[in-house]
Structure 1
Amino acid sequence: MAPITSKLEKIAAALATARATYSKTNPKSFQIHKESVGTLPGGTTRNVLHFKPFPVILASGKGSYLTDVDGHKYLDLCAEYSAGLFGHSHPVITKAMHDAIDNGFALGGANHFEGRMAQLFCSRFPSIDKIRFSNSGTEANLTALALVKAYTKRNTILVFRGGYHGGLATFGKDGKVAGSVMNAPHKFVIAPYNDIEALEEIVEEHKDDLACIFLELMQGSSGCLPANVDFIKATRAKATEVRAVLMFDEVMTSRMSTGGLQGLLGVTPDMTTLGKYFGGGGQNFGAFGGRDEIMSMIEPGHPGGAYHSGTYNNNVTTMAAGVAVLEEVWTEKVATELYQMGEWLQDELRRVAEGTILQVTGVGSLMTLHFSSKAIISAADVQESVAELKELFFFDMLRRGFFLAQRGMISLMTVTSKAELETFVEAVGQFLEERHELVS
């Protein structure tokens, strides 16, 4: 057998060993996966959870920890891909849900939670005069796009390379629609992210039919890539200039303050979409809201208006959990502390990564780790990073008792302590030291 000489060969060999170790120590996960693949494509109903040789099967969660079916315990740094903001089985949220269940659910009418929840959102987000609820961020985004088209009587939606607005509105690094057969059939035009000149040119080209500029303030799924403030302000100016709607997708970034990342940046859109953690982290939730004149289009009986409904839009347990979150759990103090904790963790990870190709991108409590010798500023840069090193890092962290997204994303929870995160920083330092030959 020829000796292994190149760095890529060494990474591949280390990864093969890590996968083999994982397979050997997770027999119950393998068995459950084996029984599932015949009826579930890939053995799961969420592609993002799949990885080779098989995904870990989780059994329970408590506080900031997860336990899998093989009995391994992990500090949860994935937090249900940012939805599990408050940890597992938060007592206030659990009580609210249990109380709601005790009084009956699936009632088939309006309930006393939904109006209160709407008031709380409108008081926190200056961009939201009125709001409607749905069952996911994906659903909220698609409904909001349809509403914006009805309001403007225009059809073109401007989105950005690397953008992800749910499984039916995904846009690749190369400016093409990724998995186009699955995307909603809107008239999308795709602009480079963080490029003001290109934005201005594309808006000018489509100004007569431009319904909406649709922007993530940080591209979460593409690698936690923040939009710069000047670019965000430019989207506001151009949307106003051509009378298009500016819509911010804050399904992930709303956690940066009680008024979202838009509240910290001081830029107000016409529409905002939300999702994930507002339902308590364990309930399906989505929302879209904005200016009164836009949202009035779905007022019952509105002349020439639109119709919006859905059986579980006001699901009692979700609404009860949401009110508890907004009234008792997600306070300004908690939001500020979490943001600061995230900034501290990013700084600590950059400190231990000095002298290696490990990079950290993100805002506040959402971040992604990348292995690349090139600066990570776009989705294309993320795609060109060393994916095998990221996978090796994922398996090494699992072995050390840390659970994060395989793509390297970290999403902090309010219940996780600084001391717990310090153990993670230490583990990352150990990884970089042990794998120094591969990451230098």
Structure 2
Amino acid sequence: MTSNKALLITVCCFLIALCLVCYKSLSWERSGAPDLRNRIVGGRLQKDDVSPYFYRWKPGDPVRYYDGANIGHSGVSNITASPFFHTLLYPLLEFQQRNIARIWLALEYLFILITGFIAYRLTKNNTQKIIVITFFTLFLLTEAWKTHVLTGQVYIVYSLLAITVYYCLTRTNKLMAAFIAGLAAIVLMLIRPNMVVFFFPFLFLVKNYSRQYLATLFIPVILLPAIYFSFDNNRTYWKDYLSAIQASAKVHQIAPLGGWALPVNGDTARLKKVEGWDVDEIMKHEKETNLVMYSENGNVFVLFDYVFKKRLSINMMGLLSGLSVVILLALYLLARKKFDIITLPNIALFGYCLYMVTDLFSPIWRHQYYGTQWLFPLLIAATVYKPANKWFYAGLLTGLLLNVVNTDYIKMEHTLGEYLILVVLLGLSMTRRLEVAGQAFGQTTKK
């Protein structure tokens, strides 16, 4: 079979899978997109000059602040998105929640398709195109994507922003690309603060860009936070946000394995109908469609508890996370000359693995939709495929398939797949020189 025919067949399979998943998503979305609600409520509170992170709705409060998952809880709320992400949601906040859920569903597919399209543009031969489309198609079928759509989550935004940064950094002589890269990078860090770890290794690439390019890149990196944090309210929200994250971590750690709940405080008045959603209709739909979420919690502390029947402390998790990042950076430094791995793909994959290490060590329960974050490194790896590295890609494919299947024969198959992907990506980025497709990367001279 010629590569053109294989590519055509792969594209046809992708289109069939896309249509199937989109059709199913219309049913999944009817489950209420519950996690989207707390983002919208957080944004509304913030927009109305109310700090959302310790807010508790009670009868008599505006319904626009109501979240059934946050009723009757004392102490910290379930709102954990950053204040900056709430700001990005402002254009949606005055719609009814039912309409917001429809808009968000469309945006989720727009974001994931743009991410896939950018990856496809980064390929230089049919084999790479086939692998990109195959990985992307399988990703649509993962339980991570299903739960992401069903709950109305936001993690696909991270992959979109990360691949935007990556794509723009391949355009070494385009100042507009430098500006967009800087803007996407700072937005990514402001909506996901521990993403700063992703960018640590990029410092090795500074010499590959002209001073003009770097100056343009850092304009939004410096200017956006300077403007944003010049407002007193924004600084206050961030102080509350950091305190709330610490409080949420403690709440998550007192919960039993397999679930968590905020402490309940007596008055739990619940509304049946909220902004176009009817709770009874949602429950009826879930019963009729026999909707099941196969969600696992793949945190290191969960695995440690399963094995040793003991919880890691929050401080110990932070220490182990930091040590893991430092050790991996040290190993990368030692390997950089031997394997000649100071290239954009190597750095991007390695940096993202560092971020995912911090994510896996998080004291906050990682539900299945967290797995959506693997889309970016899987697609970047696919764009730099070489036959000599085929066994690495067999490992990535296995990890991806483990996130597609739901079986009783493999214990925590999704979590196993995630850790396999992490190990393979670390091996690939630290022991193989990877080249940016179609770019004479690193040839720019300083001006």
Tell me the TM-score normalised to structure 2 length. Answer: 0.31
More helix by share: 2
More strand by share: 1
Tell me the TM-score normalised to structure 1 length. Answer: 0.31
